[in-house]
Chains A and B, each alone.
Chain A
Amino acid sequence: MDSLSTLEKLEILADAAKYDASCASSGTAKKNSLGGKGIGSTEGMGICHAYAPDGRCISLLKILLTNHCIFDCHYCVNRKSSNVRRARFSPWEVADLTISFYRRNYIEGLFLSSGIVKSSNHTMEQMVEAARILREEHDFRGYIHLKTIPEADPELVYQAGLYADRVSINVELPTDSGLSRLAPDKNARQIEGAMGKVKSDIVEAKDAKKRFKNAPRFAPAGQSTQMIVGADAATDADIVGKASRLYDGFRLRRVYYSAFSPIPDASAVLPLKRPPLIREHRLYQSDWLMRFYGYRANEVIQATEKDGNLPLDIDPKLAWALKFREQFPLDVNRAPREQLLRVPGLGVTAVNRIIAARRHRSLRLDDVGKLTVSIAKVRPFICATDWRPTALTDRADLRNLLAPRQEQLELFAA
């Protein structure tokens, strides 16, 4: 196996990492390399150094330490029974590659994950070692995201948090039954236990940092997780409910959704079809509704259809508004912020602009038009000084008027 060149190993281990959705490098503590011996900075805002044709941002060097694995999870290309080529990096190779990419401004840092070799503890040790080399030998001050292994010793997970900006543990599937069916070696309780431990470590470290200047940082960019959508029978309602419990229970920064992609050498228990990208998109929209628009999980679930899934042809906010028409129209000159945020077509920026502008004058429909992207979608749900939607809000065919044309969607809707 050692006969593979760095290039070949990189190909295999990056290819194996591409099913992980997260590549964020934002929201961590500010660092720079002025006056030090090292290299790197993080300034709060993440930077996407490139975009792949799949529309995903490439911010970090996202690789596996190895794609050898003793687990046998059906949705995973690296599972024990899969016939893929295997490769393995040493912690030093990972660190050197990260630094040489970073110096050329290709990346913000490293996102290291791994298949499980020998044991969970051994693998976690190797990952922590790669992070340690970067931080201590190279004095690297860029971003590090470590995927931690729930089965590993909590002490090792704690070490990971000391070196990394963000740690994550994948819940993998939205329901426990899905997990036991598709990831027979994993255990939902163990995963949540590990997330709970990381949460309390983060809280503790933050508290210590307030009181002691030199207290060590622990995962300043928090923890996140990922769920695979479309590999099992879970509905959007199940998924949104699960995400909301995770946000509340473990104070996660993000829950990522990954539309299940057909993987080479797939297991026969999985659907083999185009990944449900539109569904993934709708779930992210619902995630936004909960994080930035003040919707509660049960309100998002109200927007789902009879089968428990969000409609694919319209976004969840519009779906909710169409179901609860009695709450509209809202007067843009009077309605409070949290209500305006519920108007389909008004984003956070537009609402802020409306609130700032209405201090100066009463807004007409035309003024609102200047502050938003499209007035057509907003019109049925608002009143302005010169505009009342009268019967428009209650029209039975309102959904058809507002939904984008169907034909475009069909291709991806499967």
Chain B
Amino acid sequence: MSFSFNNDNNRKIDLIRKRYPEKKALILPLLWLAQKQESYIREDAMQFISEFTEMPYMHVYSVATFYTMFRLKKPEKRVIEVCRTLSCALNGSEEIKQHLDSKYSDKFEIVEVECMGACSGAPMCTLDGKYIENLTPNMIDEVLNAN
């Protein structure tokens, strides 16, 4: 079935489209809604956004591929992102990554990311986009076994 937004998202789009002087500005908000709806950005979703914003498909595609948080492939597993930038590295992010890799890599997709702006809670990671700070290997076990 070709892509369309669900009713809930259509209502949201009606609200935000009045907020921008040009339709092109809706590309990022629409990519976000499409990703939320389908867990990733389908090719026909980009086609839909291209028609909706009256911009070439290639433009929408180039925008979608520029930003690292947009996923163009369906995620197979739930995603854990581990911050690896300096403040987290100084507080043992490498150990956290190794712990996750060794125990949880079949259930979760574990990726390293750059600074998430949570340096006072170093080391940190996200689970399904939610921040978990001041990590220890024990804490990871507790959180992931409860989830």
- Are A and B physically bound partners? no
Instruction: List chain A positions with a Cβ less than 8 A from chain B.
Output: none
Instruction: List chain B positions with a Cβ less than 8 A from chain A.
Output: none
